[in-house]
Every structure is written in C-alpha cells, then in structure tokens.
Amino acid sequence: MKLNGRRVMMCSCEGSMPLDPKAVAAVLGTDSPEQIYSQLCRAQLDSYRSAVSSGEPLLVCCGQEAPLFGELAGLVQAEPPLCVDIRDRAGWSSQAGRTAPKMAALLAEAVLEPEATPSVTLMSHGSVLILGRGQAVLDAARRLGAERAVTCVLLPGHDGDLIPPAVRSLGLFRGRPVSASGHLGAFTLTVADLAGASPSARGVLAFEAAVGDRPLAGDIVLDLTGSPPLLAPRDGWVVVDPRDKLALERALSDILGLVGEFEKPRWIKIDAALCAHSRNGQVACTRCLDVCPSGALKPLGDAATVDPHVCGGHGPCASTCPTGAIRFDVPGGNGLFKRLSALVETYGAGGGERPILLVHDGEHGDGMISALARFGDGLPAAVLPLAVPVVAALGPDFLLTALAKGAARVLLLAKPERRGDLEPLRAAAALANRVAGGLGWSATVSVLVEADPAALAVVLAEVAPKPVEPAAEFLVLGSKRQTLTLALAHLHRHAPKPVDALELAVGDPFGAIEVDAAKCTLCMACVSACPAKALSGHPDKPSLGLLEVNCVQCGLCRVTCPEKAVTLAPRLSFSADARVRRTLKEEEPYPCIRCGKPFASKSVIERMVERMSGHSMFAAPGKLDLIKMCEDCRVVAQYDMEDGKRPMAGAAPRVTRTTDDYLRERDGGKE
C-alpha cells in the first residue's frame, strides 16, 4: 500500500484495535497493504528495519513509538518515517468498527507535504538578572552562579537583615526597576537609584550611595518580585512566586538550559498595504494591538509591525484582523486549509456522515484524546481531530470554510492557560454561527476551554446536526478575504433559507457605509484612506462609489472624513449589487469662472467659499473669486499678468554670464 509515494505500514497494536485495510485502501484509491503487523515495534521490528534500510519513504501507523522508529532510521542514515496515530484517535474507540473512513482521512492528512515555516534565531550566553526581595534572591543567585554570570537587583527596603556573601562572585545591587525591553538573549532593564553593594559591610549587607538611573543587561531575567512584571510574557523572562518552592526549582532548572542558539517560528506575517491601523495620523483599527499579550505588535507609520523575537505565537491578532493584513504563518502558506480539506473530503468519500471537526492545540488536545482512548470510550467514529499550533489564531475564514466543506460541528478545544487569548476566537465563532444560522444551516461552531477528558467526552457524544450539503470542494489558494468569499458564496448558493442580506454586529468584518450627502463634499479623503479598495472615485466626474464586498468595516473612512459624513453599517450582503460599484454621492464638476474648465466638485468649492468668507486673507474685493478658479487661472489672476504687470518689474535686468566672463575677471580684464 502506497500513499503519496510512501509505503504504508499498518499495525493493530497487538490486536487491540480492529483494522479493515481493504476498506481504508478503497477510500484512498490505492492497493491494500501486503501485510498487517501486530507488534511492529517489538517482535516484528526486523520488518521495519528491512523497510527503512531500503531507502523507501515510509508512513508508519503508530504515534506512540515514533521516537523508536526515528532512532532506528537514523542508525542506517535513512529518512525518518512519517508516524501517524490511528490508534488513540480512531482504533481505541467503542465505535472502532466504523472508523475505516476516519482512518483513511487521518492517513490522507498525514502524507501532505507541509510548506516551510520561516524562523527567527535567538542567541543566549546565559547571563541572568535576578530581581526580588530578601534571601530568596541570594539563594537563587548562589544556585545559578556556579554556572552562569548572575546579577542581582534587590528592591529597596528588604535588605536590612541579609548577610553579605563571603566571596563576591556576582553583581549585587539595590535599586528600583522602572522599565524593561528586549527578548531572550537581549534584555535591558532600567533601574532607578542604583546602588552597588559595599565591599566593607560586616554584619549585614550595606550599599554605597545611589548613582541614579542605570541600565543593566542580561540574556535571561528571573523575576522574584511578586509584582506585575515590567514586560508582557515572553521567552526568557521567567516570573516565579518565591514562595512556590516547586515552581522555583523548575524555573532554575529551565534557566540553566537557556544557553545557546535557539530557533523559534516566525509566527505571523504582516502585509502593511492591507493594514487598517491608520492613515495620515488618523487612527482607526487597533484590534491586533489591543489583543497582543506579548507586546510584540507596535504601530509603525500607518501599519502595525511585529518584533519576531518577542512574538510568542499567541494568535489572537490573526483571528481579529479584519483585512487579512496579519496572517498566522505556521504552517506556512495555506497548509492548514489543505489538511482541513484532506480530512473532511476523504472522510466523506469513504461514506462517513456528519463529521465533527475537533480542532485542538497539539500537546493539550493529544493528551485529552489519549486519556479518552485509554480510560474511556475513545473518540466517536465521526470525530476528526485536527491539531494546530494555536487554536486562538483561527478566524472566520477557517471556520466558515470548515462548515462549507461539510463539517457538522466545529469544536475548538483550547487549554485553560490560554483563556485570556480567546476573545477574538469567540467573536469569530459567533460570526460563523450568525452567518450559518441566518442562512438556515444547522451546523455550528463552538469554543470549549477544558482540561477534563470526561467533560470533553460528554460534548463529543452530543448528536451532530445536519451538515452543509453538498459539501464545497474549492481550493483555498488566496488571501483571507478571498477564502471568505468562496465559503460564503457556497453557503448562500445552497442555503435552506437564502436571504439577500444578514444584519451583523458592530466589529464584524462585513458591511457598507452610509454617507450624509448634505455633509459630504466629495473631497475623496476616504478613498485615499481605504485599505481594502472598497471606496473609489470616478475618472470623469466628482463621484464617491462603494464596492461593498470589499468593505471590512475598519472605520478608516469614518475617522478620516473631515466633514464627519460617514457612518458604518455592519451587514453581509449576498446580492449581486454588493459585487458592483454603487454610487453613494455624485454631482457635476464645478467650472472655473474664468476659463470654464471643470476642476473640482461643486460641494468642495461652495464649502471653501463659505468657510473663507470673512477671513482676513480674503477680505479684499475679488479675493474669494480665486477659490472659484482653476489652478492656472488662479495664478494669472493673482499676478494680473494679462494686464502686462509683472511682480518683478522693479528688479535689475538679468544678465547672462558665460565662462569667458569669469576668465576675464580672473585675469583683471573686467569689462
């Protein structure tokens, strides 16, 4: 049995799960495997050694023993096999007899070639800054000082009973940390009233006179202050309650390992051209900045920018971005949508019904699934697990695509530690449910924050609603907005209750704008500010038009409009009118009063005349007429050139000088 060029080796794990290789192969459109193993990791290990030594790419249907299979491949310098778990996720289940379509789907997903994930390098030499109070700081410094360069900063007022160390092997200061910046390998801490420890202190620790504010640098920071940290959570800034001895021991052990060169994913990618943060100093959208827990996102000019060294890959910025300017890039490209399609479409092709897509953070979800398989009834046959790096990064594009492709339920399982990152995800799920429900579909999306496998089992046992039929088969190749358009078109085309428009909530990334025609002067400030190309002018006349399908409700047009004539109208329109330019205001151009050339909108000229009337610059007779002239006639009128008058009439005549003139002057022959 081969799949995507890989030989598939299936094992029943000592007969503990039923396998139907013919049914699985039929779903995948390939030949049935020549042999089904029962103990590939032990008694039949020679079969694996022989297969991997041949150099043939392998797909081993076992997740538990993946380290063993990888190690044996390394011994013969062969490519490590792909290992996929079909036991905990399918075979160990009370419904194991109906899992052939699901096993086929898991195999189809496993053989997809992932796109390369970009990374960023962090370098740490292991120097440690320790902040805190009392003996806990000195004890931690003594533990780390044997192997690391350590600098201690004791907070004022808590050092009166400390005994000075007999041998000074570390930097010891008193001061008040006031600010910090940086990342693993490059932290900088500003300390106010910094004072060094006195070398002549006898009974108790004493300090010299303070020298003012000074910066201290370190690769790692151990924060034992018990106060809110100066920096948002990030790698290398370790916050521990000094009273928690177990947590402190774990932190000291982790710090000793933070030396060397580290690679971390470059989690997000930003397209500044699509960012709706601001234009011309007018701030509109701050959604990503508001939800970033690490402080990695900062405004830079009109767009948001990310410090990849600080970014922790929490994900809510990508979920909440209305334009698609921020993209969660792990896995790279559209890899996640490929995996989604492989799972749902293969399961459906095998006759599977009402699939429940269980999307989970890898480690947390795998542990929950493993516990259900070992101590409970396992996953139901219709539950398709999909591991992702971060659940909180998913947006409405993914959720609506999953529903359009036939998922009866999309269950987003998040670990409780990430509870604070989930508001954008909840908003995306609510939007998906409003859209699906508004069109008459029963399929739903829900967010579950749970660490109890028994509670998860109860949710998974609920009867799944009817999915979208027929399931969509489109390929996801474009941007977030293009993906949304494809999913929405399919959901509407086959909707049980098709409607022309759905009313949405404020903040949802679909809608129109309403323009107060009496206020609007057609200055086109909103057109130049729109990052989604939803607003446009007209080449022949003053006109403001809207392409509603492009509008993301970012609000830049509203904050940019000098006349405050724009109002946002959140809604989702499915009508053909939303895909063509609709004129919001139009008027005849204003003709120049001298030459008759049209040069501006009538509203703009009338508003400028109204506002400038009475101004000292336009008090002289005829001055207001300058506003009513085109750029050429305005110059002519201002300098009255038609009457032969010149602004430089009293100046000396201009004389053209040549090289010969300068040479004669140099030689004294001035003429």
Q: State yes or no: cis peptide before 470, omega within 30 of 0.
A: yes
pLDDT in tens, 168-215: 788 999 999 999 999 999 999 999 999 999 888 887 888 899 999 999
The pLDDT value recorded for residue 642 is 46
**Architecture in CATH for domain 266-328:** 2-Layer Sandwich (3.30)
Encoding tokens for residue 115? Answer: 């796109």
More confident residue, 108 or 654: 108
Query: Looking at residues 452-477, what average pLDDT do you find?
Result: 95
Closest by alpha carbon to 407, among 435, 441, 453? 441
Q: What b/e readout covers 341-356, taking b as 16+ CB neighbours within 10 angstroms?
A: bbbbbbbbbbebeebb
Angle (deg, nearest 10), helices 423-438 and 396-404 = 40
Taking residues 529-546, report their average pLDDT.
Answer: 92
Whether the CB-CB separation of 391 and 429 falls below 8 Å is answered with no
pLDDT digits 0-9 by tens, 128-172: 999 999 888 999 999 999 899 999 999 987 666 788 777 778 899
CB within 8 Å of 320: residues ≥ 6 apart: 287, 288, 291, 395, 424, 427, 428
Computed over every residue of the chain, the mean pLDDT equals: 92
DSSP string covering 47-69: HHHHHHHTT--EEEE-STTHHHH
Band of residue 669 on the pLDDT scale cut at 50, 70, 90? low
Mean pLDDT of 300-323: 95
pLDDT surpasses 60 at 376: yes
Quick check: helix, strand or coil at residue 91?
Answer: helix
Please compute the mean of the pLDDT values over residues 55-68 and round it to a whole number: 96
The β-bridge relationship of strands 444-449 and 409-414 is parallel
Each residue's pLDDT tens digit, 247-260: 999 999 999 999 99
Please classify residue 625 by burial: count the beta carbons closer than 10 Å to its beta carbon, then call 0-12 exposed, 13-18 middle and 19+ buried: middle
Range 9-33 average pLDDT: 95
pLDDT value for 231? 92
Q: 358-367 pLDDT, tens per residue? A: 999 989 999 9
In this structure, the strands spanning 535-536 and 543-546 are antiparallel
397-409: average pLDDT: 98
HSE value, Cβ hemisphere, 13 Å, CA-based, for 156: 12
SS (H, E, C) 503-555: ECCCCCCCEEEEECCCCCCCCCHHHHHCCCCCEECCCCCCEEEECHHHCCCCC
| Listed residue (463, 437, 474) closest to 334, CA to CA | 474
Burial class (CB in 10 A: 0-12, 13-18, 19+), 605: buried
Cα 145 to Cα 154, 170, 255, 568, distances in angstroms: 16, 7, 12, 60
* Residue 243 clears pLDDT 80, i.e. is over it: yes
Residue-wise burial string across 300-333, b where 16 or more C-beta atoms lie within 10 A, e elsewhere = eebbbebbbbbbbbbbbbbbbbbbbbbbbbbbbe
Cα(358)–Cα(381) distance, rounded to whole angstroms? Answer: 12
Whether residue 634 is predicted with pLDDT greater than 90 in this model: the reply is no
Secondary structure (3-state) at 227 = coil
Q: Which of 567, 571, 579 is closest to 552 using CA atoms?
A: 571
Domain 502-586, CATH: 3.30.70.3270
> Do 364 and 382 contact (CB within 8 A), yes or no?
no
Over residues 71-83, the pLDDT tens digits come to 999 999 999 999 9
- Report the SS3 class of residue 572: strand
CB atoms within 10 A of CB 570: 17
SS3 category, 216? strand
According to CATH, the topology of domain 122-263 is FAD/NAD(P)-binding domain (3.50.50)
Asked if 213 contacts 194 with a C-beta cutoff of 8 angstroms, the reply is yes
Number of continuous H segments (helices) and E segments (strands) in the chain: 19, 32
Which amino acid type is present at position 58?
L
User: In angstroms, rounded to a whole number, what is the distance separating the alpha carbons of residues 519 and 622?
Assistant: 27
Q: What local confidence, expressed as pLDDT, does residue 364 receive? A: 95
The pLDDT of residue 158 is 63
